[in-house]
Amino acid sequence: MSTAAGQAADTTGERLPILIAPHPALRAKARRVRPEDLDLVRDLLPKLFATMYAAPGIGLAAPQVGVGLKLAVVDLQPDDKPAPMVLINPEVIAVSEDQVMREEGCLSLPGQYADVSRPARVRVRHEDETGARHEFDAEGLLAACVQHELDHLNGILFVDHLTPLRRNMLMRKLAKEQKAKASG
């Protein structure tokens, strides 16, 4: 079977527009993918990967392109080699007690970065595009990225992990930069 992960290295596919905060769709909770959604999901996956690679990014959640399904793609491209992951109905089922601080960005908040504290390691349960269930342990950048993508599926942005002061500063900076970009 040709899987979305197998096709993912194809970066020439159709790209989708990425929603920019404060778009309300980024604040909605995504719904679970059901078996009857899998044809739509299989059609969407190459577009999600092409959009993520072109951005460029290391993750992309379906709500960031206006699709309210619990679906995300991740590829950290270790050693510059594609390592695509498809996360359908992902859940964090265990977290480490220790937290680490790491700088995060977001394709829906272009140009904005901040240090975010999250559990250092997580165990994730998810399905793939064939409906098969999987679990894996993540640490380092993968742990941060997976938690960031799962947040998107719950309408949460990385700025929500910051103090209100820092969050407001970043959101105001984003609005100003987007306005300047729109006016040429």
Q: Where along the sequence are the contacts to ligand K1U (CB under 6 A)?
A: 56-61, 104-108, 144-145, 148-149, 152
Q: Tell me, yes or no, if 149 is annotated catalytic.
A: yes
Buried b (16+ CB within 10 A) or exposed e, 67-89: bebbbbbbbeeeeeebebbbbbb
Q: How far is it, in rounded angstroms, from Cα 126 to Cα 158?
A: 22
User: CB under 5 to 8 A by kind: which of ligand K1U, Zn ion, none does 45 bind?
Assistant: none
Least Å from the CB of residue 134 to Zn ion: 22
From 104, 127, 129, 149, the catalytic residue: 149
Residue 106 binding Zn ion, by CB under 5 A: yes
Distance between the two ends of the chain, CA-based, in angstroms? 46
Q: How far is it, in rounded angstroms, from Cα 27 to Cα 156?
A: 6
Per CB under 5 A, contacts with Zn ion among 12-71 are none
Q: Nearer to ligand K1U by C-beta: 133 or 181? A: 181
Strands in 8-160 per DSSP E:
59-61, 71-74, 85-95, 99-104, 114-119, 121-127, 133-139
Residue with smallest beta-carbon separation from ligand K1U: 57
Span near Zn ion by CB under 5 A; candidates 16-24, 79-87, 103-111, 175-183: 103-111
Least Å from the CB of residue 63 to ligand K1U: 10
Binding site for Zn ion (CB under 5 A): 106
- Residues recognised as catalytic: 149
